């Protein structure tokens, strides 16, 4: 079985400051908003819908970042091939509010704090996604 999801690294400018959105998932891990593609949607539409549903933020896609793939076992189904498309998304509106049915919390962070949280409490396969987003926003980070 194949499952396609999409999401993004959401950022906003507040005066001269740049902030990146990170969420805490239901397992307590730091991650990026994403979710499953619905029938009739493009991956871009999925990414923006999932960001809006999970975090309350409307956004505009600036560029694709990366597509990650992995496998997991789903009870009653077996092995699932997962494909997740990530985009760099600029916040354009909305009010920050976690979808508590899906995630524990969401917050805006300084880009380097977002990187610290990702590398210390996030999923390893998101490191390269966030690194590419931060690079596009003018921040250089290392995996150490």
Q: Are 9 and 15 in contact (CB under 8 A)?
A: no
DSSP string computed for 80-132: EEEEEEEEEEEEEEE-----TTTEEEEEEE-HHHHHHHHHHHB-GGGHHHHHH
SS3 content of the chain, % helix, strand, coil (to 5): 25, 50, 25
Domains defined for the chain, CATH in brackets:
2-136 (3.90.79.10)
Distance CA 48, CA 137 (A): 19
- Three-class secondary structure of residue 9 per DSSP: strand
Residue 100 has a pLDDT of 86
Residue 144 has a pLDDT of 57
User: What are the per-10-residue average pLDDT scores of the chain (144 residues)?
Assistant: 96 96 95 96 98 97 96 93 97 94 93 96 95 96 75
Distance CA 32, CA 126 (A): 8
């Amino acid at each position: 079985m194949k499952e396609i999801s999409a999401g993004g690294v959401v950022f906003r400018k507040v005066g001269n400051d740049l902030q990146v959105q990170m969420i805490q998932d239901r397992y307590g891990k730091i991650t990026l908003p994403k979710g499953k593609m619905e029938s009739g949607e493009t991956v871009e539409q999925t990414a923006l819908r999932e960001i809006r549903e999970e975090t309350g933020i409307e956004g505009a896609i600036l560029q694709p970042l990366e597509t990650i793939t992995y496998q997991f076992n789903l009870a009653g189904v077996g092995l699932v091939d997962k494909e997740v498309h990530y985009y760099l998304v600029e916040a354009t509106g909305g009010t920050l509010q976690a979808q508590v049915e899906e995630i524990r919390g969401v917050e805006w962070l300084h880009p380097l704090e977002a990187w610290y949280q990702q590398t210390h409490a996030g999923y390893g396969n998101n490191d390269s996604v966030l690194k590419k987003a931060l690079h596009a926003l003018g921040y250089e980070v290392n995996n150490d």
